[in-house]
Amino acid sequence: MSRIGKKPVTVPSGVTASVDGQTVKVKGPKGALQLVVHDDVVVAMDKGMVTIDPRNDSKRARSMWGTYRTLVSNLFTGVTKGFEEKLEITGVGYRAAVQGKNLNLQLGFSHDVTFPIPEGIAIATPKPTEINISGIDKQTVGQVAAEIRGYRPPEPYKGKGVKYAGEYIFRKEGKKK
C-alpha cells in the first residue's frame, strides 16, 4: 500500500477542479493547469477531494499510484502558491541580467549565454549573482533551473559556476608540490 497514494488531495478554497476521464483540470488564482493521468491509475472526485487508486494490483499500477497523487497535489499547490527555485552564481566576472524576454548570463565564455525565458515562467535577478525562477508548473520551473545550471555547473576545486541555493559543493584539494 502506498502511504502517499492513500491520502486524498483536498481542493483548496478559491480553486475549481474537474476530473474528465483520465484528465484532471485545475483552475486557481495564479492560472490553470491540467494533467493526463496514466491508465494504470483511476482518478475520482467527490466532496471536494480528489482520490487516486490503482486500477489493479500490478507493480506498475502501485508505483504510479503515489506518483500521480503527488503530481495532482502539485497542480493544486501551483495554482495557489506557485513554485520557486533560486540559483546562485559564484565566480569572478560571472553575472546574470534579465533583458526583455531573455536571461543574459556572463559565465566566463568568450560570448554571453542568452537563455530565452519560456512562457509561464518569471525570472528575476535581485542581485547580479542571484537568479529567482518562479511559475505555476513545478516540472517547468525545475527544468528551467536545471538548464540554466547546466551552462556552467559548479566545479569542485574553486566552486565556480551556477548552483542551487543551499546546494553543497563537494570540494577537492588541489595539486601539492
**pLDDT tens for residues 96-116?**
999 999 999 999 999 999 999
Global pTM value: 0.89
**C-alpha pair distances (Å), 95 with each of 61, 75, 76, 130, 146:** 46, 33, 34, 8, 17
The pLDDT of residue 161 is above 90: yes
Q: Coil, helix or strand for 164?
A: strand
Domains, the chain: 3-80 (3.90.930.12), 83-164 (3.90.930.12)
Mean pLDDT within 150-156: 95
The DSSP secondary-structure symbol of 108 reads S
State the pLDDT at residue 46: 87
d(CA 139, CA 168): 22
Position 83 scores a pLDDT of 95
Residue bearing the bigger pLDDT, 2 or 51: 51
For 160, what's the count of Cα atoms within 13 Å in the CB-facing half-sphere?
A: 11
What does pLDDT average to over the chain? Answer: 92
